[in-house]
Amino acid sequence: MTALDAAHLFVVSLVFRAGVIGTTAALWRHPRLARRVGFVGSGLASTMTALLAITVLRTGTSMDGVLFLHQATGLSLGYAVDGLSAWFLLILSVLAVPIAAFSLGYVAHAPLDRRSAFLGIGFNVLVGAVEVVFAAGDVLTFLGAWELMTLTTAALVATEHTSLASRRAAYLYLAMSHLATGCLIAAFMALASVTGTLSFSSLLSSPLLTSEPLRHGLFALFFIGFGVKAGIVPLHVWLPEAHPAAPTSISAFMSGVLIKTGIYGIVRVCAFGLGVPFLSWGVIIVLVGGLSALLGVLYALMQHDLKRLLAYHSIENIGIILLGLGAGMIGLSYGRSDVAALGVAASLYHVLNHAVFKGLLFLGAGSVVMATGTRHIEHLGGLLRRMPWTGLCFLIGAMAISGLPPLNGFASEWLTFQAFLFGFRGSTEPLVHLLFPIGGALLALTTALAAACFVKAFGLTFLALPRTAAAAQAHESPAVMIVPQVMLAVICLGLGLFPGAVLATLEPVVRALPGFAPHSFTAGHSLTMASGLDAFDRVVPALFGVALLVAGGLGLLMASRRRVKVRRVPTWGCGGELTAGTEYTATAFSKPLMLIFSSLYRPSRHVEALTEVSPYFTQEVRYRSEIEPTFERRVYEPLVRAVLRVATGMRVLQAGSLQSYIAYVIAMVVTLVLIVWWRS
């Protein structure tokens, strides 16, 4: 397929998706047909997008075109797909297709079945808007798609609008997103006033950006605007509220792809769109990334809601992505393109890996919720026997997000470690010698804590005895929901076993970014070799495959020829009977870490002893433990109170008098005229 064919395919995919939206709307009163048309059509459109992305990545060419042109005014909305856009479009497609298939079964389950048309339309609009965000060729197209994406997401988060929690989550998401959009509009307009254009090809990396204060101001505005969508700390408060409130298939897309629009903006604009990055920019991104990674996993450890736990892990992995990107920006700032290439490649590799294993985990959580009717880990247990395929896929996702080899999370996190180690050895900058070991240590601590968290999440959900009747009566999900999970689990394994193929695809993408020399490595020294993953890529797949075959063959042979008499006995329980009530709880599992990090969590405990006749004979003890929402209580609540006080004080301007309003307008016009006269 040529670049011209790919360009046509992009337009065709958008037009096809628009047709799917219209057809689904026409089938509003027929939920079953609307569900099939909406999600099957979305999968086909995303497949076209994947073909487009693969073509651009394979040929190394870029393409652009016009989506809309108004002849009278000259208004045009254009698109441009280069290597970086194609990489994010490929990630979108890899996750959107399995989610669409999973939704066929998940949305058919009550109470979502009656909202099939709404969810089918909303999912298509959301995916299409994100595609345009990744492929936008100018500011107007980008901001239009960005706002459509924001409004659609808010509507989907409020799907269960009768729930106060869902409405609050949607409102919080809208408030934070519009703050972000305001920052982006201000930054783009300031940038356009200097360059005189709205086209990304001329706007970004413009030679006219010579003023250091302007560049620092633009970086701050863009980083805040994109950082809100990415969910970085301390701009993350919307994320753990919105992800659990949305339907699980939407949550999977939000976590795997939607928050990556913020990462795309940071990479496209903050890292490579404002000229060669300053050392301070890379330091800020590394520090924010390390803080997000550590706090994300620490708060995840305290969660007992399965989807809320996964939401906090999205913050953690965004932090890991920023750690790699920050290391790359620091390397670029002091002239080390090889270090920069490693860091940026690690970041982009983890963007793909996080989308795959986090999508897999959310789909597994969706199967659990559908089978049991609850997201609370304390009310689950023993699901592995009742849901073996879901449990196996969830285990693979848990191992991948914990950075265990040979799965994909290990490959990208190892590459991030290499960026810090390689940059540390090769730099003479004192700040790098201080910061890079700290970044590597934070990454190591985060990885260990993530493994502990998913021991809790998997063990208390799928192992031991069921704690409630709903868990005891759970059953496996239908095949249409299992197959997408198996697909993503296989991709997790493939991306981990063959990192060389991924890095070979990423290398031209990274080298085409502004600021990189045409040959960032010496001859024969590729990105794969520099990463330290070349030997892993050559040796491990073959050995691992042989080991699996041998182990599987021996297991089948022993099972078929077993002559050993098996005696089943109950598990020893110190002389007592083991029941669901004697199992380890999520609260008990998290208690040691709560004590270690008590200054962060600020926990509060409530113990209530219930008696009947005498206070000396306790019938029941109720225990409740809570952690303080630090950022909400100590950052956002005082900020909201201050804004409300200012707004209340400004109410005196709203006198209800037409003459007063006319006077305000006249005063404003006179002030502006005087300012223009003075500056001229």
- CA 283 to each of CA 324, 342, 412: distance values in angstroms, whole numbers, following the listed order: 11, 17, 21
CB 275 within 8 A of CB 385: no
Lowest mean pLDDT among 271-275, 369-373, 547-551: 547-551
Mean pLDDT over the full length of the chain: 86
For residue 632, give the amino acid letter: E
CA 16 vs. chain centroid, Å, equals: 27
Quote the DSSP letter at residue 473: T
Q: Is the pLDDT of residue 424 over 80?
A: no
Q: What is the pTM of this model?
A: 0.90
Per-residue pLDDT reduced to its tens digit, 33-88: 999 999 999 999 999 999 999 999 988 888 888 887 777 666 778 889 999 999 99
CA–CA separation, 209 and 182 (whole Å): 22
Q: Is the pLDDT of residue 460 over 50?
A: yes
pLDDT the model gives residue 530: 54
Under DSSP, is residue 199 helix (H, G, I), strand (E, B) or coil? strand
For residue 188, give the amino acid letter: F
CB 205 within 8 A of CB 273: yes
Query: Among candidates 310, 318, 315, which has minimal Cα distance to 296?
Result: 315
Lowest mean pLDDT among 166-170, 228-232, 341-345, 423-427: 423-427
Stretch 172-186: mean pLDDT: 93
CB 102 within 8 A of CB 43: no
Stretch 526-554: mean pLDDT: 62
Q: Is the pLDDT of residue 536 over 60?
A: no
Pairing of strands 75-81, 63-70: antiparallel
Per-residue pLDDT reduced to its tens digit, 566-610: 777 777 777 677 777 777 777 778 878 888 887 777 777 777 777
pLDDT the model gives residue 562: 61
At residue 353 the predicted structure's pLDDT band, cuts being 50, 70 and 90, is very high
pLDDT the model gives residue 352: 96
At residue 523 the predicted structure's pLDDT band, cuts being 50, 70 and 90, is very low
Tokens of 606: 């409530």
Query: Among candidates 395, 461, 105, 38, which has minimal Cα distance to 249?
Result: 105
